[in-house]
Amino acid sequence: MGDRIFLRDLRTETIIGIYDWERKIRQTVSFDFEFPGDIRRAAKSDQIEDTLNYKSVAKKVLAFVESSEFHLVETLAEEVARLILREFSVEWVKLTLNKPGAVRGSRDVGVMIERSRADLDLP
């Protein structure tokens, strides 16, 4: 099956960056997520317990990111992927992290990663 659940443009502010001025302000970051999921059970039952509750994912990610102070978007992306895989019953996550305005002349910069439970040695 190829069912997917996605969450696009989840935005928040955090301290992120390597320059002194970046360590003193909160900057906007945005995330796109994709998760595997066989949605047939949820479609049949029409119950949130039978699917990935993307609102719960969003709340957990926002709380984590808003309290973080990483230097690199690479580190933030890795730690968010680890959080999702540890806290939710998904086999893998695709994550795009955007840092708008980080490079003059570009809309945004960032990273795209894919991580699985096996990658992170999670049961």
Q: Copy the structure tokens of residue 18.
A: 């390597």
Q: Which string of DSSP letters, residue by residue, matches 83-108?
A: HHHHHS--SEEEEEEEEETSSTTSSE
Q: In 1-123, which residue ranges form alpha helices assigned H by DSSP?
A: 40-45, 54-66, 73-87
Residue 60: strand, helix, or coil: helix
Residue 14: which residues within 8 A CB-CB, separation 6 or more? 26, 27, 29, 65, 66, 68, 69, 70, 76
99 has catalytic annotation: yes
**Among 44, 55, 60, 99, which one carries the catalytic annotation?**
99
Q: Which residues are catalytic?
A: 99
